[in-house]
Structure 1
Amino acid sequence: MATAMTWHARGVREQDGEDGARVRPGDEAAREAEQRQRALDKIRADTARRLDRAMGSLGTAAMARMEEQLPWFRALSAEDRSWIGLVAQAGIAAFVEWFGHAGEGRPTPSIEFFATAPRELKRSVSLQQTVDLIRIVVEVVEARVDELAAPGGAEMLRNAMLRYTRDVAFTAAQVYAREAEARGSWDARLEALIVDALVRGQVDDGLHSWAAALGWTSTPVVVFAGHPPDEDPQSVIDGLREKGRRVNLELLAGIQGDRLIVIVGGAKSVKDAARIVVPRFGPGPIVIGPEVPDLHAAAKSARAAIAGLRAAAAWPDAPRPVHADELLAERALDGDEDARRQLVETVYAPLAGTPLLETLATYLEQGASLEATARLLFVHPNTVRYRLRKITELTGYQPTDGRSAFTLQVGLILGRLATAHGGRA
């Protein structure tokens, strides 16, 4: 009994503190944890002070390494390089400030220093290049971890760098995604304005400004007009843009009511352009306007393509796609003044005042009969053949071909009307 009491008293004394107060094992663990945390906080504070003193040299070292390792950085303007230097310095400063309070659970201020850069810089520097910049800044800091960290704080600094750069990388992706989305919406509005202006023939300084904002530089230019497919209009336009990017063509597209207008720039030939865009149209005719040298002249191509689409119903067997110039006769009958003027200039004017005009008129009126034409003109049939070949050379239309004969007939009638009304053929 006495022995048990002795052991009990000894156990009580072993758990008494120096002041005689009883100390539980859990309290002692909490005290040790508190001491460890104070030590970590001191290491963190000392490391933060070292980082603060080294900020200038870190920024300078990062810029020097960018100059050395990144060819695209050296190609930037002095102003853009200066802005990147400010962004890098702001990023280092933000890290130092955050590191000093990271133990308090503060989130990383990774998005704040991106506001340092102007919007134009985000257009000059791609997301991949931004990742290269982040990587170099990390390499510069990591190379000096042993020097920058307080004794026992190297691992803490490395872990903080990993967390911070991870958040910065995600933030960079978010910033560029938002910029791309905003730019995409703005570009879509500009595209719609350009297509609408060309369709209405309003070619002015505004058109050039909009085209410059989109980066349009391609030549030559050709316009396609047809009907859209039964799909979401935006998906149709997005699909055209994506297809153009894959083959290095510049495309502008717009859906106006029941018409799909596509402007193609930079194609090697109209045939190449048609191979890319025709599959994106819906059922019905597709008309190709004449090729023009630049976007400024594209209103002419658009006007011809739309007039051809309107008149295409008069030629049910027209090929798909069909060139607007192949529909000159139908366009002229539909009231297209451009087509009427072009037919008079290409068919009537070259023949006016020569025996060729009478020969053509007689040949067409006699149902394309050589013998009947020769009898009425009192010439040999070979003379008629010769004159018909000359007509083909001068106008580009062959009187012996049914389709060409129809176009020549319409051009002849329009020329006579123009002459009769006091116009000059």
Structure 2
Amino acid sequence: MTDSPDASPHDDAVRAETVRRLERAMGALGTAAVAQMEQRLSWFRSMSAEDRSWVGLVAQSGVAAFVDWFKNPHRGRPAIAVEVFGTAPRELIRSVSLQQTVEMVRVVIDVVESRVSELAAPGGEQQLREAMLRYSREVAFSTARIYARAAEARGAWDARLEALIVDALLHGNREEGLQTWGASLGWSRIPVIAIAGLLGDQDAEETLEDLRSHARRAGHDVLAGVQGDRVVVVVGVNEKNASDPMGAATPLAGLFGPGPVVVGPPIYDLSAANQSARAAVDGLRAAPGWPDAPRPVAAEDLLPERALNGDPAARRTLIEEVYQPLRDAGTPLLDTLSVYLEHASSLESTARMLFVHPNTVRYRLSRVAELTGYVPTDGRGSFVLRVALTLGRLADTP
């Protein structure tokens, strides 16, 4: 090749003349490259004036770096990252994508190629074309490396920020900053649900990456973090599943380790998502109390286990939403349910104890189901009602 160290004196003379021509044309080449970008690249035209000026400076630096490298062929590989991209601020990488950078480089190369006949000394056309080919290849490699490093750094920052948000949600602090943090990660979807499960013997990073990728492919926003042996995922549910948050959580359940997977209640504001996260984690702690629970299971379906495990929020919910409506509905309803539960859920025994007809018992039990959402004749429903009645009575005791 003409760039080899064994080039003849004639080649060196031709190169020297080409360098002089290139140096005289550097300013014009940079200006022409920017003009071509304006004409050919719609994304360049839509950029801010400041970003366009930085891109123009990069183009000028690219031309100058090529001329300097062409002038000194024995230097080896050009230091593209420093000489070209080092002129622009780090933030420019966020404004210009890798594909757009490739298009920009292509325009600069096209501008120089279109003027090879006037830029190269007589007999130096092939020498200049070969040098441009090598240089453009180095620019492409360096560009890819720069964007790869930026993506790696961005990914590491996102992971740290996600972990910080998840920690804040679980511990209930810095709630005023959650909306801002979420916005920095592109968070925009509601409702928000939290999903908690165990890591098991799975690799933490692989598990988090699988959860993120599956959630994003489904169109959800997602934050994920590991807390000891526990994995917590916060999902901004897409519009398709907005009315069925559990449907959004179900496909993700299989990515957790063995054991229960608990889904917190839907919340319609990221800054209040700690309510869902706490419920999911409290439910995960209490889930062993219900071995036959579905996977995933809603945290609200674990209210009695959570209450027995010392969760004050679950106790309060059972008292306010189950016991108090029954108490306020009158003594007959509450007494009927109490006797029914104490007598092995037998309609006839309850009717005899209360001196009423079995149909009266049936009616009152149906009213209990209407008021609370729990069916006394169902095994799980009767358990929830029994715990709620016990907690309510304790709360009413002076």
1:106 Cα deviation (Å)? 4.8
Match of 2:88 among 117, 123, 126: 117
Q: Which blocks of at least 5 consecutive residues in structure 1 are unaligned? A: 1-32
Fraction of identical pairs, as percent? 59
Name which one, 1 or 2, has greater alpha-carbon Rg: 1
TM norm structure 1 = 0.85
Mapped partners of 2:218, 2:359: distance in 1: 52
Distance 2:133 2:97 in 1: 22
Which runs of 5 or more structure 2 residues have no equivalent in the other structure? none
C-alpha displacement of 1:182: 1.9
- Residue of 262, 277, 284 corresponding to 1:309: 284
Please, what is the CA RMSD of the aligned residues? 2.2
For residues 259 and 91 of structure 2, the distance between their equivalents in structure 1, rounded to whole angstroms, comes to: 44
Matched, 1:107 2:82: no
Q: Relative to structure 2, which stretch is displaced further, 249-258 or 115-124? A: 249-258
> What is the aligned partner in structure 2 of residue 374 from structure 1?
351
What is the TM-score with the length of structure 2 in the denominator? 0.90
Runs of 4+ in structure 1 off by over 6 angstroms are none
Counterparts of 2:112 and 2:176, CA distance in 1: 51
Structure 1 residues 391 and 75, CA, compared in 2 at 3 Å: closer, same or farther? farther
Kindly state the Cα deviation for residue 65 of structure 1 after the two structures are TM-superposed: 2.2
- Where do 1:140-289 residues align within 5 Å? 140-267=111-238, 268=241, 269-289=244-264
1:62 corresponding residue in structure 2: 33
Alignment coverage as a number of residue pairs = 387
Distance 2:225 2:155 in 1: 15
Contact 2:324 2:392 (8 Å CA) reproduced: yes
- Does the CA contact (< 8 Å) of 1:203 and 1:299 recur in 2? no
Q: Which moved more, 1:337-346 or 1:406-415?
A: 406-415
User: How far apart, CA to CA, are the structure 1 residues paired with 2:391 and 2:383?
Assistant: 13
Structure 1 residue 94 displacement after superposition: 1.1
Contact 2:200/2:229 (8 A) holds in 1: no
One of 62, 67, 70 as aligned partner of 1:96 = 67
Question: For residues 50 and 312 of structure 2, what CA distance do their matches in structure 1 show?
Answer: 53
Cα deviations by residue, 1:222-255 (Å, 9 ceiling, x for unpaired):
1111211312222222222233333333322222
Which whole-Å CA distance do the structure 1 matches of 2:284 and 2:213 have between them? 25
Once the two structures are TM-superposed, the CA of residue 49 in structure 1 deviates from its matched residue by 2.4
- Map 1:380-419; keep pairs closer than 5 Å: 380-419=357-396
Task: Indicate the structure whose relative CO is greater, using CA pairs within 8 Å and at least 6 residues apart.
Answer: 2
Please report how far the alpha carbon of residue 401 of structure 1 lies from its aligned counterpart in structure 2 after TM superposition: 0.8
Question: Which residue of structure 1 lines up, in the alignment, with residue 98 of structure 2?
Answer: 127
Report the Cα distance in structure 1 between the residues aligned to 2:115 and 2:283, rounded to whole angstroms: 71
Q: Deviations over 1:103-134 (max 9, x none)?
A: x4453231221111211111222222211111
Alpha-carbon separation, structure 1, partners of 2:386 and 2:202 = 42
Q: Say if 2:320 is the partner of 1:350.
A: no
SS of the counterpart of 2:195? strand
The letter for the 2-side match of 1:289 is G
Q: State the alpha-carbon separation in 1 of the partners of residues 198 and 21 from structure 2.
A: 68
Contact persistence 1:222–1:298 (CA under 8 A): yes
User: Partner of 1:349: helix, strand, or coil?
Assistant: helix
